[in-house]
Structure 1
Amino acid sequence: MNASSAPPASSQPPAGALSHLRVLDLSRVLAGPWCTQNLADLGADVIKVEKPGEGDDTRHWGPPFFPDASGQPTQEACYFAACNRNKRSITVDMATPEGQQLIRELASTSDVLVENFKTGGLARYGLDYASLSALNPRLIYCSVTGFGQTGPYAPRAGYDLLIQAMSGLMSITGHADGQPGGGPLRVGVAVIDLFTGLYATSAILAALEARHHTGRGQHIDMALLDVAMAVLANQGAGFLNAGNIPGRQGNTHPSVVPYQDFPTRDGHMLLAIGNDGQFARFCEAAGVDWARDERFASNAGRVTHRAVLIPMMAELTRTRATADWIALLQDKAVPCGPINNVGQAFDDVQVRARGLRIEQQRWPAGQLPPGQAVDTVASTASPLRLSDTPPTLRHAPPALGQHTEDVLRERLGLDAGQIEALRSRGVV
């Protein structure tokens, strides 16, 4: 296409890749909301349904809490902001017949529904997959539970920490027994919840693609335990194929050496040397001849002689400051970096250059309701970078029920009088 025939440039930002989709979010806490935030970032209209007066559990999981206009902490936890960007919040009491009917009506015009109630928990409200798919056969219904819809543990509640323990993840996280601080540890964030949200996003996108061919929706059964077993990755494969039960070994790698933290003159640094070439370049830069030692020339040799090599390296790394090591190695293609705290990470020049800290206004300028948290909400940008349909920013993490009237009016055609009548009866 030549310049004269090219379409005129638009001043409007591109629509999100999923801007044609409607998502009904009945999930709470982290795994389900992480999934629906991914969909929302990609443009989907996500309606988050919350219990009147209470809302998502994470609204109260603090401190830290958002401050009010005077800087004093409110009762609204920062946790909620991590996984509810770009959604609209409505409050509906699904324990009431009228509330159940509102949700059924919303589901009948939705493409996707995500829920994380206990297995079978929504059937008593007539909001299970069988009931809603009868109303809307195109509905993709994603259930997120601890243990799945089948098996002896299906009725049990499941939480990230419990699943980290049961899956074996904690048995390979932390320092070995007998070392300072030894013992099983959870990962510092709820990684199984987060991985489950990501797998659920992938499953939903696959179901949408399948619907293009079949015209039908389907039920997605996501279980935290299933995901935890899957993300054992190489550790799981080692057991399944070689019978090897891995243990805890701190920050070291079972199959790659040196691949761990090292002490420096003023703290610690991380070396992630993944091949023999990188090790040779490290040795040359550091002025040692270890790469010519047959014990250390290959990764297999370095793994075998780990107990000899690592103390030698630690003695060497203590001779320079962390910044000096990074400056020495950064142009040698030797992966080396600082061990930051979260504040240092957000202040990193690369993090700032990538725009990974974003701010959104929750309320229109000058319309902050009394007693509400400050209207500027910060969160971490979506890591999904699409050249033509990038993630969009439309809504800050919403206040509880902030969009109830808008959604009921737009999606269900209710007028102000009907909405007020529902509100007076505690339905919304």
Structure 2
Amino acid sequence: MPDPDAGRAQTGQLPMALEGIRVVDLTQVMSGPFCTMVLADLGADVIKVENPDHGDQTRKSWGRSVVGDDSRAFLSLNRNKRSVVLDLKGDQDRETFMTLARTADVVIENFRPGVARRLGVDYDAVRAVNPGIVYASISGFGQTGPYASYPGYDLIAQAMTGIMSVTGETGRPPVKSAIPVADLGSGLFCAIGILAALRVREATGTGQYLETSLFDSALALSVWESTEFWSTGEPPVPLGSANRMSAPYQALETRDGYLTVGANNQRLWQRLCAVLEAPDLLTDPRFADNDHRMANRLELVEELQRVLASRDTDEWVTALLDAGVPAGPIRDYRQVLTEDEHVRARQMVTSYRHPVEGETSVLGSPLKLSATPVRSAAPAPLLGQHTQEVLAELVRRDVHVEEGPA
């Protein structure tokens, strides 16, 4: 890695939040790579260990590739990392991995339960050579329990945790959340767990094992749905874009499209009626308070859309925001990623120059740290791009390692 201290003395810049933390990353596809991308953005040295034959599954078999062989799915999740190729089924490469693990602060894997142990790279094996290691596992259903051996896919986790039973519209077939909440949620929860474990190690010198799963993470995000069930005794049903706790809080149709309105308390309801110039809604007993509006949601939507049909989305959004009513247009990703001034102002689209793909757009980090900002995006690595570099670093650290793969 380039010397992170270069130029820092002159500028007085602080180190990045996780600078000096080395993460050995055995993960692939989405949940683990998303977790380690967050850590890499914060300054951790993430060394991605990949199979020399094909690497991360997303390199070639997920999504679209544009110029080279690596898919845009891989390029979007693996910035700021280094790639080392090791065949963990071979004795020599496994020993090289263990040598690398001796230098690590964190090891993370997302194999199916039992695979890491069969390969000889599980927590017990790594702890034997590095007692202070923080070792993290992400799996589909956890390391224990009757579902532990099930294959781990976001779709299956969404189905089995109830998410698909409440997504979509009443009376329609079940649909999954378009955003893979189980994959991304488990990655985020794992990152939080790693940071907590590093804090404990800093205070006590003790490493530890942590795990999460797509199933646990998806269920943990089901806050309102579980609350509704425990409150009523009835399983929640799909509500489309509506909210389980208040109304109106959903998408509504206008003359030329759709907007979202969040009038989730009585004060905002009164302001909404004023903007709509519909005082009759305020006196209608069906909509007297939130409980009544929830009970008569379909009639409420019908009344609101009857008024909203008279003007375009942007006109209504401007009027509602001017009155202090939370509102926003529904946009597609072309509008969001290429036209939205706020997206640009928040630096939520960035790019890096890839040696094969050229200029490659990726999403920016949502983390805005004032004193230790996240690092600028560096290209996702080519397969094995940093193998010799990392092995040379091990030699410089006086850690013996046999000649590794090219």
How would you bin the TM-score normalised by the shorter chain?
A: over 0.9
Contact 2:96/2:404 (<8 A) preserved: no
Q: In structure 1, how many angstroms separate the alpha carbons of the residues matched to 2:208 and 2:31?
A: 20
Match of 1:79 among 73, 83, 92: 73
Match of 2:372 among 370, 383, 389: 389
Aligned to 1:23: 23
1:218-237 deviations in Å (ceiling 9; x for gaps): 11021111111111111112
Q: Which moved more, 1:383-392 or 1:269-278?
A: 269-278
Aligned to 1:5: none
Aligned to 2:296: 305
Match of 2:251 among 261, 278, 281: 261
Aligned to 2:341: 349
Tell me how far 1:10 sits from its aligned partner.
Answer: 4.1
Q: Which moved more, 1:36-45 or 1:338-347?
A: 338-347
Match of 2:209 among 199, 202, 219: 219
Tell me how far 1:33 sits from its aligned partner.
Answer: 0.8
Amino acid corresponding to residue 127 of structure 1 in structure 2:
V
Aligned to 2:306: 315
Q: In structure 2, how many angstroms separate the alpha carbons of the residues matched to 1:412 and 1:269?
A: 59
Q: In structure 2, how many angstroms separate the alpha carbons of the residues matched to 1:196 and 1:120?
A: 19
Match of 1:332 among 308, 323, 338: 323
Q: In structure 2, how many angstroms separate the alpha carbons of the residues matched to 1:14 and 1:211?
A: 22
Tell me how far 1:60 sits from its aligned partner.
Answer: 1.6
1:105-153 deviations in Å (ceiling 9; x for gaps): 1111100011001111111222110111011010000011111111122
Contact 1:360/1:396 (<8 A) preserved: yes
Q: In structure 2, how many angstroms separate the alpha carbons of the residues matched to 1:9 and 1:287?
A: 61
Amino acid corresponding to residue 327 of structure 2 in structure 1:
C
Aligned to 2:151: 157
Tell me how far 1:241 sits from its aligned partner.
Answer: 4.5
Aligned to 1:279: 269
Q: In structure 2, how many angstroms separate the alpha carbons of the residues matched to 1:412 and 1:243?
A: 62
Contact 2:351/2:377 (<8 A) preserved: no
Amino acid corresponding to residue 307 of structure 2 in structure 1:
L
Q: Residues 189 and 394 (structure 1 numbering): CA distance in 2 closer, same or farther, change over 3 Å?
A: closer
Task: Give the alignment's TM-score, normalised by structure 1.
Answer: 0.88
Contact 2:112/2:139 (<8 A) preserved: yes
Aligned to 1:236: 226
Contact 2:131/2:206 (<8 A) preserved: yes
Say which SS state the counterpart of residue 66 (structure 2) adopts: strand
Q: Residues 412 and 30 (structure 1 numbering): CA distance in 2 closer, same or farther, change over 3 Å?
A: farther
**Superposed counterparts of 1:22-421, under 5 Å:** 22-67=22-67, 74-177=68-171, 182-289=172-279, 290-346=281-337, 347-363=339-355, 373-393=356-376, 395-413=378-396
Tell me how far 1:284 sits from its aligned partner.
Answer: 0.9
Say which SS state the counterpart of residue 295 (structure 1) adopts: helix
Tell me how far 1:362 sits from its aligned partner.
Answer: 3.1
Q: Which moved more, 1:159-168 or 1:389-398?
A: 389-398
Q: In structure 2, how many angstroms separate the alpha carbons of the residues matched to 1:169 and 1:62?
A: 24
Contact 2:224/2:244 (<8 A) preserved: no
Task: Give the alignment's TM-score, normalised by structure 2.
Answer: 0.92
Tell me how far 1:402 sits from its aligned partner.
Answer: 1.5
Amino acid corresponding to residue 350 of structure 1 in structure 2:
H
1:136-195 deviations in Å (ceiling 9; x for gaps): 010000011111111122222211101100111000001111xxxx11111112111100
Q: Which moved more, 1:233-242 or 1:151-160?
A: 233-242
- Percent pairwise identity: 38
Tell me how far 1:66 sits from its aligned partner.
Answer: 2.5
Q: Which moved more, 1:242-251 or 1:138-147?
A: 242-251
Q: Residues 234 and 200 (structure 1 numbering): CA distance in 2 closer, same or farther, change over 3 Å?
A: same
Q: Structure 2: where are the runs of 5+ without partners?
A: 1-7
Contact 1:358/1:380 (<8 A) preserved: yes
1:326-384 deviations in Å (ceiling 9; x for gaps): 12112211111111111111221111111111111234xxxxxxxxx323222111101
Q: In structure 2, how many angstroms separate the alpha carbons of the residues matched to 1:13 and 1:263?
A: 50
Tell me how far 1:87 sits from its aligned partner.
Answer: 0.7
Q: Residues 329 and 9 (structure 1 numbering): CA distance in 2 closer, same or farther, change over 3 Å?
A: farther
1:240-299 deviations in Å (ceiling 9; x for gaps): 354221011211122211111111111111112221111111111121102243432321
Tell me how far 1:63 sits from its aligned partner.
Answer: 4.2
Contact 1:105/1:412 (<8 A) preserved: no
Amino acid corresponding to residue 126 of structure 1 in structure 2:
G
Q: In structure 1, how many angstroms separate the alpha carbons of the residues matched to 2:396 and 2:95?
A: 14
RMSD: 2.0
Say which SS state the counterpart of residue 65 (structure 1) adopts: coil
Q: Residues 96 and 213 (structure 1 numbering): CA distance in 2 closer, same or farther, change over 3 Å?
A: same
Say which SS state the counterpart of residue 113 (structure 1) adopts: strand
